[in-house]
Structure formats: structure tokens, C-alpha cells
Amino acid sequence: MKYSFNLVGVSPVLHFFNHQQQSLVKPQHQGIEYLGTHTCTLDAFLSSIEPVPVKWGWNLDQVVDTVIEFWMNNAESINYWKSRLNDAGHDSLLVARVADMNSLSEELESLLGKNL
């Protein structure tokens, strides 16, 4: 299975917490998780993904490799989001999305109104 990891934005902690709580009540697409961390570091995101593979039955080594590959190949994007996080202050999180590629494709198609 292939995985995707992307930094998607900065969010106030309470807004992100509310989003996560709503996703428990109204399930999101399976195989897609949003993660938040107070620091823009590889170690912070690696720590935050540890419970995700267990939840979805993913291969932890492949997910970790995907995050590391993103980190090695996207320095400009990482620096941009690190700056935005610093600008936002201490009550904010950097939000990332980790997903299996099939689920991500299904989510994007549903957003575009295409039914499978």
C-alpha cells in the first residue's frame, strides 16, 4: 500500500480539537488522518503518527518512510509552514494529513462530486 503525507495548515488548538471530536461522531473517510503538533519537526510528526497505523492496519515502516521522504524532499514547504506556525503563536498547531493513497483518491473524488 502507498501512503501520502502533507502539511496542510496551521490551526488554533481548540479548532483542531473540535474537528477531531466531530470526526469521531461523523466518521471521515477511512484511511485518512489529520495530525497536529506544536512544533514543526520530523520527530514531532513521527511521534504523532505512531497510533495511526494500528487504527487502520497500515504498515508502520512504510508510513514512517513516507513522512521521512516528505521531510527530505520538501524543505521549502516545511520552512514556509514553520514560519506560519511561529507567526500564529503558542495556541496553534501545525496540521498534517497522512493517508493511504486509495482513501485519499476516494476523498478527492467525493469532493469533486464523482461517485464511484
The string of pLDDT tens digits covering residues 67-114 is 999 999 999 999 999 999 999 999 999 999 999 988 877 877 777 876
| Cα–Cα distance for residue pair 83/88, rounded to 1 Å | 9
pLDDT in tens, 45-72: 999 998 888 888 899 999 999 999 999 9
Mean pLDDT of 18-37: 80
Secondary structure element (H or E) that encloses residue 63, with its range: helix 60-73
Burial tier of 20 (Cβ tally within 10 Å: 0-12, 13-18, 19+) = middle
